[in-house]
Chains A and B, each alone.
Chain A
């Protein structure tokens, strides 16, 4: 399931819900991305996430489907927030459930690597006297490429 929202999320609540609605769950893997308190060595005031509504849903559904083709997943959830967030705030949540650990762990890793470079989101970091759009990192591209999507 895909949710793109401004509201915060709870890992505990979402995990409990997913375990409750599936049978035979043997493994749950999760990832949370959080707003750091520094941007290029400066104290971060806020991070604003812009996205392309419509395309976000389409692309996230497509990649979630890819994860199901590659691994034996029982269920999955991606929550990605947008709007203005502050240091310590949650940005993104990925949860994957399977019978055995490798499927859940690898699918979770795959989904977050993909989100870093192909999720249609753009981050604007505001510091005390300035602000800038975050540039994509080549290291993230390399991480994503290893999955050969």
Chain B
């Protein structure tokens, strides 16, 4: 699974993307976040306030309980500030 990070989430984690192989226990975005925060303190800090985290699956905005699998591209980012 390709996972992308943008804005300060990218800065906190220290990378803009990575490839992850998920085990069978990770079925939703929520499961993925719960896994990511166990990697190290940087991830934990990045995901410490979930009210300011948005996520997409294959470039569409989705909810935290969205089902995911290894072929998906998941992205994490703060609220957009375009225009």
Contacts and interface: CB of A to CB of B under 8 A. Distances in A.
B74 to A, nearest CB: 12
A5 B8 CA distance: 22
Interface residues of A, number: 27
B59 A116 contact: no
Interface stretch (B31-39, B40-48, B75-83): B75-83
Interface in A43-92: 50-52, 54-55, 58-59, 80, 91-92
B57 to A, nearest CB: 11
Contacts of A54: 59
Contact of B80 (A33, A91, A112, A121): A121
B83 A122 contact: no
Given A54-B59, A55-B75, A120 B80 contact: yes
23 contacts: A33-B83, A51-B82, A52-B4, A52-B6, A55-B56, A58-B59, A80-B83, A92-B83, A115-B82, A115-B83, A116-B81, A117-B79, A117-B80, A117-B82, A120-B56, A120-B82, A121-B81, A121-B83, A122-B6, A122-B80, A124-B7, A133-B11, A136-B79
Interface of B: 4, 6-8, 11, 56, 59-60, 75, 77-83
